[in-house]
Amino acid sequence: MLNTRLLSLIRKEFIQISRDPRTLVLVIVIPVMQLFLLGYAATHDVRNVPLAVFNQDRGPEARALLDAYRAADYFRLAFDAGSEAELRRLIGEGRARVGLIIPPDYGTQLQRGAAQVAFILDGSDPTVASTALAAAQLIGQAHGTQILAERLAARGVALSLTPPVEVRTQVWYNPDLEAAHFMVPGVIGMILYALTSLLTATAIVRERERGTIEQLIVTPIRPWELIVGKMLPYVSLALFNTVEVLAIGAWWFGVPVRGDLWLILGISVIFLMTSLGIGLFASTVAHTQQEAMLTVWMTLLPSIFLSGFFFPLEAMPQVLQWLSYAMPLRYYLSIIRSLLLKGVGFAEIQGDVLALTVFGLVIMTAAVVRFRKRLD
Amino acid sequence: MAESVIVVHQLTKKFGDFTAVDSVSFEVRRGEVVGYLGPNGSGKTTTMRMLLGLLRPTSGSATVLGYDIVRDAERIRPLVGYMSQKFALYDDLTVRENLAFYGGVYGLTEAQLRSRLAELFPLIGLEGRENMCAGALSGGWRQRLAMGIALVHQPQLLFLDEPTSGVDPEARREFWDIIYTLAERGVTVFVSTHYMDEAEYCGRLGLMNQGRLLALDTPSALKREAVPGEAWDIAAQPLLPALEALEALPGVTQAGLLGNRLHALTARGAHTTETLGRALAAFAPQVEAAEVTLEDVFAVLTRSPAGMTPKQHVG
């Protein structure tokens, strides 16, 4: 299969890649950059939310409440507001995300029985707000329970305040709920998809732009050799990137690689049929390298949003969930997350693998047929 | 007579309603240098692309080296070389890498390639530039490299599609030296051009216009047969009224401007220097007998007075 024609084409492609600084940056730097950006920045973990307090009581009870808030690392007591207006301004300016108003009679009310405090949330970022809301309620409840226990103890009633039903949570696969563990497999999928389709499309269109494709067609090279020779270098680059991102993910972000590495690479190759097919197809539609890039981007954006790369599919409206089944990236992400984090075997993922294979074959066949027509 | 390496029979190519090549027939024999002359868009490139199997003919047939261009395109490819007007080079590869790549694509082994390149570099005059990037070469050198690529697998038949467009006259002349060297070695060359002076170098010349092959013969035979009569160069003042008067004269078959003079064709024996001088007496004429040019042939065959322009281009 590896004849002189094919080898020449592959060697030429590698020489061109090694001499094009743009491609080198795209291949070596961008994946690492993406990994670090997404591993750190795209985290949904909410910590250290700045809190502004308007404490009108200043008694020991109020201080105890504030200590309770301080103890949990969800909030950072950032501002001690002198008035409600000041607190309002701090939240309005975005310097504080949440506010706590303790009324002047908090201590007396509490001694009489029950007291109220006001908790204000900036809801403009729902992720932060919902976490902060849950945390604030939890802290309030815990603090209330503690006061109750102290009161009963003061009356000589030793009461165990364990609730009759306890829900013990166990988080599997990603016990610390680290966002990076979710993102690294996603970045691998993104890189395989975006990089290979972009590079193949532009590499072929460049030959068409320069007229070298015409020169190639009049040589005895066969269409399949032309396609394979053009793609193999990018397949190997993509697999290099997969290993690169996996290694950084494992060493730097501590992402577990629980599944079989060869299975991961094998399935990545199946997924590459899809992205190479899209690249090949784009090259038959586009006349310039810019057009090729735009065409690929048009397929890329829905893939990113509808594959569960950023947003959980379960949270999407039903219609979008159905649409997501048309995104090959969806299956790949689901497989690669299972393989890395859960360490499952082939049996658990075979449905997704089958879907991925069908997509790959269909897209690749369509692209090859179209590509051959353009050669005539 | 040598065998025919190209046989074209009523070859036609239509793109929608537009007929790019209209029922063209001709033959090219082994060892010939055949030119294909015509303005841009006259169907030269389309004909060549059909012969190379790049385009499918709408109707008609052709064989190249005995193989049918539709059925046996793959058998033709290893035997012919092609140089397109775009000069299909990889700018980021060196001269040697470009040649090695195409050599490999034609199936040459390392050893074959080395010995082939050793012959090729002196022929195309690229010695000393083997390791330059193709992108750093100027027009004439790019043209030679493109020629080297077309020759790397030692084809018997060479298709050159406007190989000298965008190249300076000096480089064009040297390029034709290479073509003649190849012809001496038995390579058949089919070359399209829109330069009239180059057309004179061809053994035989086909004239293309609007998809039709008007004539195919040696340049001298074309001049003799297409233009039955005499040609004249006339200096006159003022030029344009003189041209009008000239066109109105009986016996003048063709008249036009050539630089700052008039150029006219007259029916055989219809005029002499004296009769023309008398007829244009009002314009202080200086009449000289002139050679029939390929422009004249082209103008007569296409019956278009615009065929004669000061430039060497047609149309």
Query: What confidence tens digit (pLDDT) does each residue in B279-310 have?
Result: 888 888 888 888 888 888 888 888 744 444 33
The percent of residues above 90 in pLDDT, for chain B, comes to 55
User: Do the domain assignments include residue A163?
Assistant: no
User: Do the domain assignments include residue A354?
Assistant: yes
Measure CB to CB from residue B105 to each of A20, A214, A216 and give the nearest one: A216
User: Which chain A residue lies closest to B96 (C-alpha atoms)?
Assistant: A12
User: Do the domain assignments include residue A197?
Assistant: yes
Give the distance from residue B247's alpha carbon to the nearest chain A alpha carbon, in angstroms. Answer: 46
Give the distance from residue B181's alpha carbon to the nearest chain A alpha carbon, in angstroms. Answer: 23
A38 to chain B, any CB pair closer than 8 A? The answer is no
Per-chain mean pLDDT for chain B: 89
The percent of residues above 90 in pLDDT, for chain A, comes to 21
In a shared domain, residues A150 and A35: no
In a shared domain, residues A56 and A146: yes
Extract the tokens encoding A92. Answer: 């309005």
Rg (CA), chain A: 29
CATH of the domain at A91: 3.40.190
- A215–B91: do the CB atoms touch at under 8 Å? no
pLDDT confidence tier of residue A42, bands split at 50, 70 and 90: low
DSSP H or E segment with residue A165 = none
A174 to chain B, any CB pair closer than 8 A? The answer is no
User: Which residue stretches of chain A are H helix?
Assistant: 4-19, 21-24, 30-41, 60-71, 84-92, 106-112, 126-154, 179-210, 212-217, 223-251, 261-285, 289-306, 318-324, 328-337, 346-375
In B, what residues contact A, Cβ < 8 A?
52-56, 74, 77-78, 80, 82, 84, 86-93, 97, 100-109, 149
Count of A-B CB contacts under 8 Å: 76
The one-character DSSP state at A50 is E
User: Which chain B residue lies closest to A217 (C-alpha atoms)?
Assistant: B54
Last residue of a domain, which of A139, A154, A169? Answer: A154
In a shared domain, residues A9 and A91: no
Give the distance from residue B49's alpha carbon to the nearest chain A alpha carbon, in angstroms. Answer: 9
pLDDT at residue A43, as a whole number: 61
Q: What is the dihedral of CA B271, B274, B276, B281, to 10 degrees?
A: -160
Chain A residues touching residue B104 (CB < 8 angstroms): 4-5, 7-9, 11
How far is B95 from B130, CA to CA, in rounded Å?
Answer: 5
pLDDT at residue A30, as a whole number: 85
- B84–A211: do the CB atoms touch at under 8 Å? yes
User: Which chain A residue lies closest to B52 (C-alpha atoms)?
Assistant: A218
Reply yes or no: is the peptide bond before residue B238 cis, omega within 30 of 0. Answer: yes
How far is A87 from B297, CA to CA, in rounded Å?
Answer: 95
Give the residue among B19, B8, B7 at the shortest CA–CA distance from B58.
Answer: B19
Backbone angles phi, psi at A274, to 5 degrees: -65, -50
User: Do the domain assignments include residue A169?
Assistant: no
* DSSP secondary structure, A338-350, as one string: IIIII---HHHHH
Give the residue among B13, B97, B90 at the shortest CA–CA distance from B51.
Answer: B13
User: Do the domain assignments include residue A11?
Assistant: yes
Interface test with B, best of A3, A4, A23, A221 (most B CBs within 10 A): A4
Per-chain mean pLDDT for chain A: 86
CB B199 within 8 A of CB B219: yes
pLDDT at residue B198, as a whole number: 86
> Which residue has better confidence, A146 or A269?
A269
In a shared domain, residues A318 and A183: yes
Measure CB to CB from residue B52 to each of A7, A212, A218 and give the nearest one: A218
CB B62 within 8 A of CB B50: yes
User: Do the domain assignments include residue A278?
Assistant: yes
Extract the tokens encoding B298. Answer: 């082209």
CB A176 within 8 A of CB A255: no
In a shared domain, residues A201 and A150: no
User: Do the domain assignments include residue A166?
Assistant: no
State the SS3 of B197-218: HHHCCCCEEEEEECCEEEEEEC
For A257-276, what is the mean pLDDT? 90
Backbone angles phi, psi at A343, to 5 degrees: 65, 35
Three-state SS for A260?
Answer: coil
Q: Which of residues 347-366 of A touch B (CB under 8 A)?
A: none
A219 to chain B, any CB pair closer than 8 A? The answer is yes
In a shared domain, residues A36 and A185: yes
How far is A137 from A262, CA to CA, in rounded Å?
Answer: 47
Give residue A155's Cα distance to chain centre. 53
pLDDT at residue B304, as a whole number: 46
User: Do the domain assignments include residue A172?
Assistant: no
In a shared domain, residues A22 and A59: no
How far is A226 from A200, CA to CA, in rounded Å?
Answer: 12
For B198-218, what is the mean pLDDT? 92
Residue type, A288: T
Chain A residues touching residue B97 (CB < 8 angstroms): 12, 15
Beta bridge partners, A75, equal A49
In order of A190, A278, A323, A371, B225, the CA distances from A272 in angstroms are: 11, 10, 21, 18, 65
Beta bridge partners, B63, equal B7, B68
pLDDT confidence tier of residue A101, bands split at 50, 70 and 90: very high
Residue type, B300: V
pLDDT confidence tier of residue B19, bands split at 50, 70 and 90: very high
In a shared domain, residues A288 and A343: yes
pLDDT at residue A159, as a whole number: 63
Domain range for A82 is 49-154
- B54–A217: do the CB atoms touch at under 8 Å? yes
Split into its structural domains, chain A has a count of: 2
Extract the tokens encoding A342. Answer: 């859960």
For A263-288, what is the mean pLDDT? 91
Task: State yes or no: pLDDT of A252 exceeds 60.
Answer: yes
Task: State yes or no: pLDDT of A375 exceeds 60.
Answer: no
State the SS3 of chain B: CCCEEEEEEEEEEEECCEEEEEEEEEEEECCCEEEEECCCCCCHHHHHHHHCCCCCCCEEEEEECCEECCCCHHHHHHHEEEECCCCCCCCCCEHHHHHHHHHHHCCCCHHHHHHHHHHHHHHHCCCCCCCCEHHHCCHHHHHHHHHHHHHCCCCCEEEEECCCCCCCHHHHHHHHHHHHHHHHCCCEEEEEECCHHHHCCCCEEEEEECCEEEEEECHHHHHHHHCCEEEEEEECCCHHHHHHHHHHCCCEEEEEEECCEEEEEEECCCCCHHHHHHHCHHHCCEEEEECCCHHHHHHHHHCCHHHCCCCCCCC
- A215–B102: do the CB atoms touch at under 8 Å? yes
In a shared domain, residues A69 and A13: no
Direct distance between the N- and C-terminal alpha carbons of chain A, in angstroms, rounded to an integer: 24
Interface test with B, best of A8, A207, A213 (most B CBs within 10 A): A8
User: Which chain A residue lies closest to B110 (C-alpha atoms)?
Assistant: A4
In a shared domain, residues A278 and A356: yes
pLDDT digits (tens, 9 = 90+) for B91-146: 999 999 999 999 999 999 999 999 999 999 999 988 889 899 999 998 889 999 99
pLDDT at residue B91, as a whole number: 92
- A210–B149: do the CB atoms touch at under 8 Å? no
Three-state SS for A160?
Answer: coil
* DSSP secondary structure, A306-368, as one string: HTTSSS-GGGS-HHHHHHHTT-HHHHHHHHHHIIIII---HHHHHHHHHHHHHHHHHHHHHHH
A33 to chain B, any CB pair closer than 8 A? The answer is no
How far is A65 from B10, CA to CA, in rounded Å?
Answer: 99
pLDDT digits (tens, 9 = 90+) for A305-328: 888 887 778 888 888 889 899 999
In a shared domain, residues A310 and A212: yes
> Which residue has better confidence, B24 or A195?
B24
Sheet of B157-161: strand order equals B80-83, B157-161, B188-193, B33-37, B204-209, B212-217
User: Which chain A residue lies closest to B98 (C-alpha atoms)?
Assistant: A12
pLDDT confidence tier of residue B194, bands split at 50, 70 and 90: confident
Chain A residues touching residue B79 (CB < 8 angstroms): none
Backbone angles phi, psi at A55, to 5 degrees: -95, 105
For residue B153, give every residue at least 6 positions away whose Cβ sits within 8 Å of its Cβ, in sequence order, or none.
B78, B81, B102, B103, B106, B107, B108, B116
User: Which chain B residue lies closest to A222 (C-alpha atoms)?
Assistant: B74
In a shared domain, residues A116 and A245: no
A16 to chain B, any CB pair closer than 8 A? The answer is yes
In order of A45, A100, B97, the CA distances from A132 in angstroms are: 11, 12, 63
Beta bridge partners, B15, equal B18
Chain B residues touching residue A8 (CB < 8 angstroms): 100-101, 103-105
User: Which chain A residue lies closest to B83 (C-alpha atoms)?
Assistant: A215
